[in-house]
Structure 1
Amino acid sequence: MPTERLTFQGHSGHTLAARLDLPEGPHLATALFAHCFTCSKDIPAARRISGRLAAMGIAVLRFDFTGLGHSKGEFSNTNFTTNVQDIMAACAALDERGMAPGLLIGHSLGGAAVLKAAPDMAGIKAVVTIGAPDDPAHVTHNFADALPEIMTHGVAQVSLGGRPFKIDQQFIDDVSKGELLPAISKLKAALLILHSPIDDTVGIENASEIFLAARHPKSFVTLDDADHLITNPEDAEYAAEVIASWSQRYLDLKAPAPPIGAPEGVLRISEADPDGFLQDVQNGPHHHMLADEPLAYGGTNRGMSPYGFLGAGLGACTSMTIRMYARRKGWPLTHVSVDVTHDKVHAQDAAAQTGTKVDNFARLITLTGDLSEMQRQKLLEIASKCPVHRTLERRSHITTELAP
């Protein structure tokens, strides 16, 4: 996934830092990701979701709000209103590049901000919130102990996520006037709400209020046992999968024409976790899988192994070929299943004396239906004529080159 670093001017004219995650193939749509309160564009959940969307052809801009991450400015001079303005500035920067966003994604207070911004932004077709509050003032519970000092002295230093931040009275006054629910009722885009029922930072009741305030089309998906920051990679992957699948309906993605010689499209495999072996396997914009290695080999076992995919291809092709033949013959075959195992065995020829091994795929085919013994044997014979079987049995030629 190519990533471009860029900057643009925020609400106050300060330079804001951003990353634009781009598809390796055709660019089909653009999304903007707004991070959580006092977080940054580079938190794991943001990276994972952006990477997943980029894999299906959606470019994603994720940026640091004023005074956070690598962006310039003073955090103490910002508030909920300025966050909304920064989002609009980010969208304007994308528009100048000819990449106006159709999808807004916001995490926590960033989710509240995109809900506030979206009704006034043309071209937004879909909005996603992750653990968002229904009232921006909800964020003050993160530093409730400091509220008396802020009211007395106008400012206080608080610790959020182990880092010091200055919060002043203007921030408190601004979030208290957020009035998010009226903005939600005016939303003219599809809405997806993602929230964990055990979120102890922003309770699940916030998701209920947002859902009730919104008009259709709207959807709610629980994140089960995820924490507020979606720190578990499996939870981030699940959220990414849901957003990617849901957004296709509203962004009206058009699959690019496959290149000549690849009538079923292009398979693109890209790293999902540079520290492990997890891979995104993307077949066009609609089909996504994960490949991984077992725990014993240093992987996380979140997807099939490469040989697992190879065996799956053989098993699926075997089952399809049997079904097509039985259907053409009108035979009473009601169900087919194929168990595939893979192993390395010694070659049964002269090469065996040198210790050479070959790959052995064993198939166990179960045929259900009122079939005669002759029909069963014929279907067994047909199994060995499936295209993948023939490909594996004969030598293949693989060409490899580096992309420019």
Structure 2
Amino acid sequence: MTALKVQFKNKEGLQLAARLEKPANNTPKAYAIFAHCFTCSKNLTAIANISRALTQVGYAVLRFDFAGLGESEGDFADTNFTSNVSDLEAAADYLTKEYEAPKLLIGHSLGGTAVLVASLNIKSAEAVVTIGSPAEPQHVTHLLTTDIDEIEKEGKAEVNIGGRSFMIKKQFLDDLEQVHKHHRIEEIKRPLLILHSPIDNVVSIDNAADIYKQAFHPKSFVSLDQADHLLSNKEDSMYVGNIIASWVSRYIKTQDVTPLKTDKHLVTRTKDSFTTEIMTEQHSLIADEPQDAGGTDLGPSPYELLAASLGACTGMTLRMYADHKKWPLQEVRVHLKHEKIHAEDCKECEEDAKKIDHIERIIEIEGDLDQKQKERLLEIANKCPVHKTLNSPTKIITELREA
């Protein structure tokens, strides 16, 4: 995905720091806003994984730091829940002015509650998603039980939430009370996806039940099983991202996919890690390296993709040939292994080359085929186009181009 550092001002004139992440072809089919949790920032790994899942299916995602948090201007002590909602609306205004009005709103924890409230004023939003979110803004007071008396008495208190210290003023509590009086989930009337973990010890699962009960259909609930509140495990945040990406395709009207903007056949993009996006004219996937090689294991390695290309081409070639001959071939399974082997017996190798590439391919076929047909299929497998490419001299012409 393409990640741009952007800034926009909220209604108080404070500069809010944000990241706008686009799909690899730089042509989003729709825009989304992600509101993070109360004690998080836009740079939380879980948020990055969820955003990546959405950019993979063509969405652009704007995630930002609320006023007083992360890299945004302001003093958190002077903010409240209403100002967070206002920041969301400012984010929507920014997208509308500079790019395109957002169609999807996603919120994590109290950010999800803010999204529920803000969606009433962000008319362009066609779908809403909450992740581990309280049903009511007042839920945050449950995290301040030992500090509320001091806040009421002194007008403010330094509290610890999620391992971070914050100055909370009485105006924050007063604002929650006012929002509570006017908060009506049933007024949203947009497709709603609720994701929540049954073992969430920060925001209990009962909140998801309350949101679901109040909301109108279409509404969906997905249990996050053993996930913690911050989605600390990579697998959990990736699962959430994939669920949202799949769910939203049913409810949001998007533009037709713009053809890939390249004079070649595909584009890859690698940024600050081994994780690499691959986009062809109509499809996208991720390549990566395993963790023991310094990667994050979000996708197959380049050599795995190379071997997979041979396997896929082999299967397709045999399928095509058997269909042409009207042979009863039911299924083809191709097992592959790529490795480097010592090349002492390789007379054609360069003098400084010590190893050559070796791909082992085992083909399993199912179907009522006689021995001659099986032997013919083995011959045809060696004629698949990718096989021929790998066995032929390949010239790679490389040039450097300014972005």
The TM-score, its normalising length taken from structure 2, stands at 0.89
Q: Deviations over 1:241-292 (max 9, x none)?
A: 2223333332425222246876xx6243434xx35x333444456543x433
- Of 294, 312, 317, the residue aligned with 2:290 is 294
Match for residue 323 of structure 1 among 313, 319, 341: 319
| More displaced stretch, 95-104 vs 163-172 | 163-172
Q: Pick from 339, 342, 361: which aligns with 2:338?
A: 342
Contact 1:29 1:101 (C-alpha < 8 Å) held by counterparts: yes
Identical aligned residues as a percent? 46
Equivalent residues of 2:269, 2:278 under 8 A apart: yes
Indicate if the aligned counterparts of 1:6 and 1:20 stay in contact, CA closer than 8 A. yes
Deviation at 1:360, TM superposition (A): 1.9
Taking a change above 3 Å as real, the CA distance of residues 163 and 111 of structure 1, as seen in their structure-2 partners, is same
Of 291-300 and 382-391, deviating more is 291-300
CA 1:179/1:41 → structure 2, altered by over 3 Å: closer, same or farther?
A: same
TM-fit CA distance, 1:96: 1.6
The answer for the alignment partner of 1:162 in structure 2 is 163
> Is the Cα–Cα contact under 8 Å of residues 270 and 281 in structure 1 kept in the other structure?
no
SS in structure 1 of the partner of residue 74 of structure 2:
coil
Quote the Cα distance in structure 2 between the aligned partners of 1:299 and 1:61.
25
- The answer to whether the 8 Å contact 2:227/2:236 transfers is yes
Matches within 5 A, 1:74-93: 74-93=75-94
Unpaired stretches in structure 2, ≥5 consecutive residues:
none
Aligned residue type for 2:383: K
| Alignment partners' CA distance in 2, 1:122 and 1:195 | 26
Q: Deviations over 1:154-193 (max 9, x none)?
A: 3222122333222222222322343499633222432222
> How is 1:137-176 mapped onto 2 (pairs within 5 angstroms)?
137-176=138-177
SS of equivalent residue, structure 2 residue 213: helix
DSSP 3-state at the match of 2:198: coil
Distance in 2 separating the partners of 1:144 and 1:255: 50
Correspondence for 2:299: 303
Task: Give the count of matched residue pairs.
Answer: 398
Could you give the per-residue CA deviations for residues 67-94 of structure 1, whole angstroms, max 9, x where no partner exists? 2222223322322222111111111122
Larger mean CA deviation between 146-155 and 365-374 belongs to 146-155
Q: 1:6 and 2:6 equivalent?
A: yes
Distance in 1, matches of 2:146 and 2:309, equals: 59
On the 8 A contact 1:181/1:210 being kept in 2, the answer is no
> What CA distance in whole angstroms lies between the structure 2 residues aligned with 1:32 and 1:259?
25
SS in 1 for 2:356: strand
Question: What amino acid does structure 2 have at the position aligned with 1:338?
Answer: V
Structure 1 counterpart SS, 2:145: helix
CA distance in 2, matches of 1:182, 1:372: 72
Q: Does 1:19 align with 2:14?
A: no
Distance 2:249 2:33 in 1: 15
Residues 17 and 63 in structure 1, CA contact (< 8 A), matched pair in contact too: yes
Moved over 6 A (4+): none
Task: Provide the secondary structure at the position in 1 that maps to 2:348.
Answer: helix
Mapping for residues 244-283 of structure 1, pairs under 5 Å: 244-249=245-250, 250-258=252-260, 266-271=266-271, 274=272, 277-283=274-280
* Segment drifting more, 45-54 vs 373-382: 45-54
Distance 1:75 1:366, change over 3 A: same
Q: Which residue of 1 aligns with 2:115?
A: 114
2:117/2:183 contact within 8 Å kept: no
Helix, strand or coil: the match of 1:331?
Answer: coil
Q: Is the 8 A contact 1:33 1:104 kept in 2?
A: yes
Provide the C-alpha distance between the structure 2 equivalents of 1:389 and 1:68, rounded to a whole number of angstroms.
55
Whole-angstrom CA distance in 2 between matches of 1:332 and 1:51:
42
1:195-206 aligned at under 5 Å gives the runs 195-206=196-207
Once the two structures are superposed, residues 111-153 of structure 1 have per-residue CA deviations (whole angstroms, 9 ceiling, x without a partner) of: 0011111122221112121111111111112221111222333
Q: Name the SS for the 1:319 alignment partner.
A: helix
Given that 2:266 and 2:278 are in contact with CA atoms closer than 8 Å, whether structure 1 keeps it comes out as: no
> Is the contact between residue 321 and residue 386 of structure 1 (CA under 8 Å) also seen in structure 2?
yes
Cα contact 1:8–1:17 (8 A) shared by 2? yes
Q: After alignment, is 376-385 or 394-403 more displaced?
A: 394-403
CA shift in 2, pair 1:278/1:223, >3 Å: farther
Which whole-Å CA distance do the structure 1 matches of 2:5 and 2:350 have between them? 56
Over the aligned positions, Cα root-mean-square deviation in angstroms equals 2.6
Aligned-residue offset at 1:366: 1.1
List runs of 5+ in structure 1 lacking aligned partners: none
Corresponding residue of 1:361: 359
Q: Which moved more, 1:212-221 or 1:361-370?
A: 212-221
Question: Which residue is 2:329 aligned to?
Answer: 333
Give the distance between the partners of 2:361 and 2:336, measured in 1 at CA: 5
Q: Distance in 2 between matches of 1:155 and 1:59?
A: 39
> What residue number does 1:390 align with?
388
Question: Contact 1:181–1:213 (CA<8 Å) still a contact in 2?
Answer: no
| Higher mean displacement: 157-166 or 135-144 | 157-166
Mapped contact 2:289–2:297 kept (Cα < 8 A): yes
Cα deviation, residue 377, structure 1:
0.9
Give the 3 Å change call, closer, same or farther, for CA 283–133 of structure 1 in structure 2.
farther
